[in-house]
Structure 1
Amino acid sequence: MTSSNLDLSANDAPDAPVFVSSETAAAVFQWLPAVRALQETYARPLGPQAVPRRTIAAGAAERASLRTMTAVPPGSRYYGAKLMGMAFGPAGRQLEYAVVLFDATTGSLAAIVDGNLVTAYRTAATSAAALDRLAPPGAARLAVLGSGLEARMHTLAIAAVRELQEIRIYSPTPAKRAAFADALGSELGVHAYAVDSPAEAVGGADIVLAAARSYGEKPILHGAWLASHATVVSIGSTLPDQREVDSSVVALASLVVCDNVEEVLEESGDMLAAHRDGVEPDAKCVSLNDLMSGKVTASRREGDVAMYKSVGSGLQDVVVAGMILDLARAAGLATPLPIRFETKRIG
C-alpha cells in the first residue's frame, strides 16, 4: 500500500492546508514509487464517475481557456482536480497548472500543488506503468523522438522499469538533440546518441517513444520504420487537431492500451485520422484499468507490435500529486497556507 492510500480507520483532525511548489516536487519525487502507485490504483475497480471526462471552458473575446480534470482515485487518501489556465497576453500564450487535493477521510482541502512538473511526472510515470506490462522483460534499445521536457521525463521513467542498452534520439534541431543525448547519457550511464532522421532512431528499437509533435501537425512516426516486436509509447496527440503517429502505426499494432479509451478514440487526432484512413482502432483499444486489473492480458505473439496511447487523466494527476504531498510533508518542505475554510456539515 502506498503512502497516499486511504486509511479507513483514520479519525484525526485534518492537517492545515499546504502549498507544494515545483521546486519541492522536484526535490522529493521518485520514479519507481510513482509507477507502482499508478499500477496499484489502475488495478482497482474504477466506478463510472471516478474519472469524468475533462472539460474545457473558453472565452473567445478574452482569449482565455480553463481545462479541468477531476478524479476520485479508488483507495487513495486524496481526491481532487487539476486546473489548467491559459491566456494570451503581451508576452504570448501563458499556462499555469494547479492540482487541488482534498482529504478523503475528512473532506477538507489538503493542498494546492503546482502542477507544472506534476503533469510531466504523471504522464511519464503512467507511460512507464503501462510499458512495464506491455514490453517484454529484459534489456531494451530505446528510440526517442523529441528532446523536450516530456521526452526527458519519459526516458527517466522508462529507465526505472527497464534496463536500457542504448538510446537513439531524433529531434528536428541538431544542436538540441545532441545536447539532449549528452545529458541523458551522463545522467543514466547509458550510451545515448543523436541520429539524423526519425527512421534511423526507430529502426530495430525495442521501445519507441513518440514525444514530439511536428510543426504542421504531420505524423512523426510511421509503421514501416518499426521493428516487428516494438512497443510504442505515444503521448503527443491529445486533441483533435494534433498529430503524432501515422495511421500505419495504428494499423500495425495488435493491441492499443489507452489511459482513457473514449477520449483517445474521440479526441485524439491520431485516432480520428486512423478512422478517416480506413483503420478501425476501436476493436484493438483497451483501457489501462483493464490491463492493470488483469481483465485484459498483455500476452503478445512473436512479431506483434503493441502501443500505449495517452491523453492524460485527472486520476494520474491526483495520484502523483498525492504521493508528492506525502513526501513533502514528511520532509518538512510543504508550505503551510495561512487560510481556513468554513466547513459545511450536513446531517
Structure 2
Amino acid sequence: MTTSPFAPVFVSSEAARAVFVWQDAIRALQAAYARPIPPKSTPARTVAVAGKTWLRTLPAVPVGSRYYGAKVMGMAMDSAVPGVEYVIVLFDQETSRIAAFVDGNLVTGFRTAATSAAALDRLAPAKATRLAVLGSGLEASMHTRAIASVRDLTEVIVFSPTPERRIAFADAVSRDLGVRARGVASAREAVEGADLVLAAARSRDEQPILFGDWLMPGATVVSIGSTIPEQREIDISVVARSDIIVCDMLEEVLDETGDMLAAHKAGLAFHDKSFSLADLMTGALDDRLKDARTRMYKSVGGGLQDIVVAGLILDRAVEAGLATTLPIEFETKR
C-alpha cells in the first residue's frame, strides 16, 4: 500500500522521551510567550462532565508556529479499569491537515516543568540556588531537572510524607544531576533557607502545605498543585507575602484555583500584583521585578504549552525516524 503524503503520524511517549531536550523546550516556550498572543488563540480549558465521566480539552493556535491543535483527555471513573489518557492532535498550518497524534501523558509533564523553568529563568535572580521541593512524584522530578537546566543548583532538599520516596528522590537527583540532595521530615525544614521553593504536591486533605513565614527574604515560589477550585496547596500567607505573582493562564489562576479563591475569601487584594506569563516574557515586568523581594509563579497549564512542546517533539521524532506513520487518511471537506 502506498502511504499518502498526508498520512498523520503517531508519536509515543517513548519517542518523546528519546528526543526531548529541556533547554530547547524552555527557549521555544519563552519565544512563544514573547510573541503577541491574540485573545482567542489560547482559550481557557473546557470540561464536559456527566456523572463520573469527564472530558477536558485545551486548544491553542500559537502565533508563528507551524502547528496548532488541542490536547484532549478523559476518564470514566466507573469503568472497570479507570485511568486518564491524553492525546494531543496537531494540525499543520501549511496543509491544513492533521499532522500527528502525540501521546500527551509524558508531554504534559515536560511542558509543565519547561514552562515553569522558562518563567523562573526570567523571574528568579540569576545566581546559584538552593532548591526546596515539596513532593516526590513525576511533576516534582521533571521540575527539578528543568530548573537545573536554567540555574546552578547548590543543593536540593525534598520533603515527601513517605520516607522511602523522599530518599529515592534525593538519590535520583544526586545520581542524574550530580547535585547534593537530601530528604527531610517536614515541609518547613525543606523550605527554610531555600532560594527557590517548588510546591508540586497538593495535600491529601486539601490543606495548605506551604506557609509565607517559612520563606526567607528574596525567595521565589513555584506552585503547580492547585489547578481547580477544590484543590489547595499554598496558604494565603504565601499570596500575601508575594510582591509579584506571574500566572500562565491569568484568569484561570486567579478565579478558578482553590488557593487564590481562599485568598479572595480572606479579603486579600492580589489582582493588582498578578500578571500574565506573556507580561513576564515581553519585559513588561522588568521594572517591577527590580523592587520585588518575594516572587511567585503559579500554573494551571495551558494549551499553548502543549502545542509548542508537542510540535517540537513531533519535528524531532520525525527527524530521528521515531514517528510511526499511520495507515489512514482523513477525508477533507472542501
TM beyond 0.5 = yes
Q: Identify the residue that residue 92 of structure 2 maps to in structure 1.
A: 103
The answer to whether the aligner puts 1:268 opposite 2:257 as a matched pair is yes
Instruction: Tell me by how many angstroms 1:278 deviates.
Output: 1.6
Match of 2:275 among 282, 286, 305: 286
Distance 2:285 2:6 in 1: 40
Alignment of 1:299-338 (within 5 A): 299-301=288-290, 304-338=293-327
Partner of 2:304: helix, strand, or coil? Answer: helix
Partner of 1:58: helix, strand, or coil? Answer: strand
Q: Identify the residue that residue 18 of structure 2 maps to in structure 1.
A: 27
The answer to whether the aligner puts 1:42 opposite 2:33 as a matched pair is yes
Instruction: Tell me by how many angstroms 1:14 deviates.
Output: 5.8
Match of 1:58 among 49, 58, 77: 49
Could you tell me which runs of 5 or more consecutive residues in structure 1 were left unpaired when the two chains were aligned.
1-12
With over 3 angstroms needed to count, the CA separation of the structure-2 counterparts of 1:269 and 1:298, relative to structure 1, is farther
Distance 1:92 1:244 in 2: 29
Q: Identify the residue that residue 146 of structure 1 maps to in structure 2.
A: 135
Distance 2:39 2:156 in 1: 40
**Paired residue type of 1:186:** R
Distance 1:143 1:91 in 2: 39
Alignment of 1:182-197 (within 5 A): 182-197=171-186
**Paired residue type of 2:62:** P
Instruction: Tell me by how many angstroms 1:106 deviates.
Output: 1.3
8 A Cα contact 1:134 1:298, kept in partner: no
Alignment of 1:181-260 (within 5 A): 181-260=170-249
Distance 2:112 2:227 in 1: 12
8 A Cα contact 1:229 1:302, kept in partner: no
8 A Cα contact 2:153 2:179, kept in partner: yes
Per-residue Cα deviation, 1:89-128 (whole angstroms, up to 9, x for no partner): 4555410000000001111000000000010000000000
Instruction: Tell me by how many angstroms 1:302 deviates.
Output: 6.5
Identity across matched positions, percent: 63
Partner of 2:83: helix, strand, or coil? Answer: strand
Q: Identify the residue that residue 147 of structure 2 maps to in structure 1.
A: 158
8 A Cα contact 2:6 2:329, kept in partner: no
Could you tell me which runs of 5 or more consecutive residues in structure 2 were left unpaired when the two chains were aligned.
none
RMSD over aligned CA atoms reads 1.3
With over 3 angstroms needed to count, the CA separation of the structure-2 counterparts of 1:298 and 1:113, relative to structure 1, is farther
Distance 2:285 2:304 in 1: 20
**Paired residue type of 2:309:** V
With over 3 angstroms needed to count, the CA separation of the structure-2 counterparts of 1:92 and 1:335, relative to structure 1, is closer
Partner of 1:344: helix, strand, or coil? Answer: coil
8 A Cα contact 1:139 1:163, kept in partner: yes
Alignment of 1:70-149 (within 5 A): 70-89=59-78, 91=80, 93-149=82-138
Distance 2:161 2:287 in 1: 33
Q: Identify the residue that residue 16 of structure 1 maps to in structure 2.
A: 7
Instruction: Tell me by how many angstroms 1:16 deviates.
Output: 2.6
Instruction: Tell me by how many angstroms 1:344 deviates.
Output: 2.1
8 A Cα contact 1:17 1:111, kept in partner: yes
Q: Identify the residue that residue 8 of structure 1 maps to in structure 2.
A: none
8 A Cα contact 2:53 2:78, kept in partner: no
Q: Identify the residue that residue 4 of structure 1 maps to in structure 2.
A: none
Question: What count of residue pairs does the alignment treat as equivalent?
Answer: 331
Per-residue Cα deviation, 1:235-266 (whole angstroms, up to 9, x for no partner): 00000000000000000000000001100011
Distance 1:198 1:181 in 2: 15
Give the TM-score taking structure 1 as reference length: 0.93
8 A Cα contact 2:62 2:308, kept in partner: yes
Distance 2:205 2:290 in 1: 36
Per-residue Cα deviation, 1:301-341 (whole angstroms, up to 9, x for no partner): 56710000000000000000000000000000000011101
Runs of 4+ in 1 over 6 A off after TM superposition: none
Distance 1:53 1:154 in 2: 23
Per-residue Cα deviation, 1:270-295 (whole angstroms, up to 9, x for no partner): 00000011212211110001111122
Instruction: Tell me by how many angstroms 1:300 deviates.
Output: 3.4
Instruction: Tell me by how many angstroms 1:342 deviates.
Output: 1.3
Partner of 1:70: helix, strand, or coil? Answer: strand
Partner of 1:156: helix, strand, or coil? Answer: helix
Distance 1:243 1:235 in 2: 10
Partner of 1:320: helix, strand, or coil? Answer: helix
8 A Cα contact 2:198 2:221, kept in partner: yes
